[in-house]
Amino acid sequence: MIYLDHGATSFPKPPAVRAAVGEAMERCANPGRGSHEAARAGAEVLYRCREAAGELFSVDPERVVLTQNCTQGLNMAIRTLVKPGDRVAVSGFEHNAVTRPLHGLRARVTVAGRRLFDWEDTIRGFRKALDRGASCAVFTHVSNVFGYILPVRELAAECRKRGVPFVLDAAQSAGAIPIDFGELGADFIAMPGHKGLLGPMGTGLLLCGRKPRPLLMGGTGSESERQTMPDFLPDRAEAGTLNVPGFAGLEAGLRLVLDRGPESIGREEAALAAYTAARLRKQGWEVFHGPHQLGTVSFRGGEDCQTLCDRLAGAGIALRAGLHCAPLAHKSAGTLDTGTVRVSFGFDSTRADADALLGRLS
Amino acid sequence: MKTFFLTFRSITQAQRAERAFAREGMGCTLRRTPRWMEERGCGYGVEVKCPDLKTGLQVLRQEKLPFRKSYLLHADGVVEEVRDDLP
């Protein structure tokens, strides 16, 4: 199979990741509960994962909360910062993992910046929304539909200047764009472990600049006499047994990303997207391509997107069609009525993969 | 060389302390805190060998790592709570 759906999850997982998962299943018991060797091995796995994330994102290991996925982290961050009725600024390219929690909280959402690949429009939109009294901002680093890299440094600076807390959704950027937690000054950065960080599905990270409001309450293996959740990180946000084999795999994935460097990974993915976009356009497809684009490109044509995607799947080419759980992004780009077909490159994608797709589509 | 037991609120803090001591060449072991030392129930500690408490705590300060209590483990098995005398 030619796999070009890395925006959904990186696949197949590297051998080092698979090996780490298997080893943890053999060696590790529940961490932070017992003092025996297997429990200690489990605790060591979790700490090593936090350390590797700390190294990649320049953050202390205690501030790395281990989650099930990016969505869980975003929910925790949003529920910490947003009260019902609050005014919140978001970009025009947010995923439902951001917009649904905000809708659930009955937040008053201002969509800031809807023009694809246009940094000026995005920055201007946020300035306006923040000046109109947004008490929080949530923005994606990279659109999961179009690969548009938002000007997050500038948006972070605008928030910091006004003292407005913000959350960064790094679902598509973690592992492909360098992120410095301290430099950005985010209140929270949420990311999946299983996309650009190459870990198993069912893993995610929430980097915390402040104490989050827990989504779950329960055992943490610490301060057990108290009936309130611990007030310190990471325990406050990690009730219940964690996915130790998953985080063993995630640590292995993080080490691979650290070895190769996110900048280099992202550059190669972006080059493949640009190569593909140019040739798709020549073939007559409507292609969404522009400056500030990472390794994802969307296109559409005369045929229904899902039908086309199914046909390609039948020919051994894995893409994703539809709305990609991001109706807001499609509305912004004017593709809500049809959706798009998304090609998303990853860690081990090659020019040959792109050529195989292009050959099928020509 | 004396043996101290330093307690922490979370296993993650204790693990970070374990790393910091190891970097400084101080032998240490991570353990769960005995129940009588932990009034809130369930905690973690690091047993560390160092010349004096000040040296051990200096390592934690450099890491900006908060600890709860410090104990001196005597060779005869007596455990004595000792205080940080750093300014």
Q: Which chain B residues are within 8 Å of A232, Cβ to Cβ?
A: 9-10, 13
User: Are the beta carbons of B28 and A48 closer than 8 angstroms?
Assistant: no
Radius of gyration of chain A (CA): 20
**What is the distance of C-alpha B44 from the center of its chain?**
9
State whether residue B22 sits within 8 Å of chain A by CB: no
Confidence of residue B85 (pLDDT cuts 50, 70, 90): low
User: Are the beta carbons of A202 and A246 closer than 8 angstroms?
Assistant: yes
- pLDDT tens across the length of chain A (362 residues): 999 999 999 999 999 999 999 999 999 999 976 779 999 999 999 999 999 999 999 999 999 999 999 999 999 999 999 999 999 999 999 999 999 999 999 999 999 999 999 999 999 999 999 999 999 999 999 999 999 999 999 999 999 999 999 999 999 999 999 999 999 999 999 999 999 999 999 999 999 999 999 999 999 988 888 999 999 999 999 999 999 999 999 999 999 999 999 999 999 999 999 999 999 999 999 999 999 999 999 999 989 999 999 999 999 999 999 999 999 999 999 999 999 999 999 999 999 999 999 999 98
Q: Longest C-alpha distance within chain B, in Å?
A: 33
Domain A15-260 in this protein, CATH class: alpha beta
Shortest CA gap B1–chain A (Å): 26
- Using CB atoms, which residue from A50, A224, A233 is nearest to B41? A224
Q: Which chain B residues are within 8 Å of A230, Cβ to Cβ?
A: 9-10
Tell me what ipTM this predicted complex has. 0.86
- Which tops the pLDDT comparison, A70 or B9? A70
Domain that holds residue B60: 2-82
DSSP state of A149: B
Assign a CATH topology to domain A2-12+261-361.
Answer: Aspartate Aminotransferase, domain 1 (3.90.1150)
Task: Kindly list the domain boundaries of chain A, sorted by start residue.
Answer: 2-12+261-361, 15-260
- Using CB atoms, which residue from A31, A222, A233 is nearest to B42? A222
A232:B43 CB<8 A: no
Which residue on chain A is closest to B31 by alpha carbon?
A35
Shortest CA gap B44–chain A (Å): 8
Neighbours of B27 (CB within 10 A): 12
Strand locations in A193-315, DSSP E? 204-208, 286-288, 296-300
- The domain spanning residue B73 has which CATH number? 3.30.70.100
State whether residue B29 sits within 8 Å of chain A by CB: no
User: Are the beta carbons of A239 and A220 closer than 8 angstroms?
Assistant: yes
Which residue on chain A is closest to B63 by alpha carbon?
A60
Q: What is the pLDDT of residue B87?
A: 45
A223:B41 CB<8 A: yes
State whether residue A147 sits within 8 Å of chain B by CB: no
**Of the candidates A172, A100, A129, the residue with the CA atom closest to the CA atom of residue A121:** A129
pLDDT, tens only, B39-84: 777 889 999 999 999 999 999 999 999 999 999 999 999 999 998 7
B12:A62 CB<8 A: yes
Helices A262-282 and A351-361: crossing angle, nearest 10°? 20
Interface test with A, best of B7, B15, B44, B68 (most A CBs within 10 A): B15
B12:A230 CB<8 A: no
State whether residue A230 sits within 8 Å of chain B by CB: yes
State whether residue A231 sits within 8 Å of chain B by CB: no
Contacts (Cβ under 8 Å, ≥6 apart) of A259: none
Q: Is-above-0.80 flag for pTM?
A: yes
Residue B73 domain-assigned? yes
Q: What is the pLDDT of residue B39?
A: 77
Q: Round to whole Å and give the CA distance between A38 and B64.
A: 29
Residue B87 domain-assigned? no
User: Are the beta carbons of A215 and B34 closer than 8 angstroms?
Assistant: no
B41:A47 CB<8 A: no
Q: What is the pLDDT of residue B41?
A: 78
Q: Which chain A residues are within 8 Å of B30, Cβ to Cβ?
A: 40
| Domains: count for chain B | 1
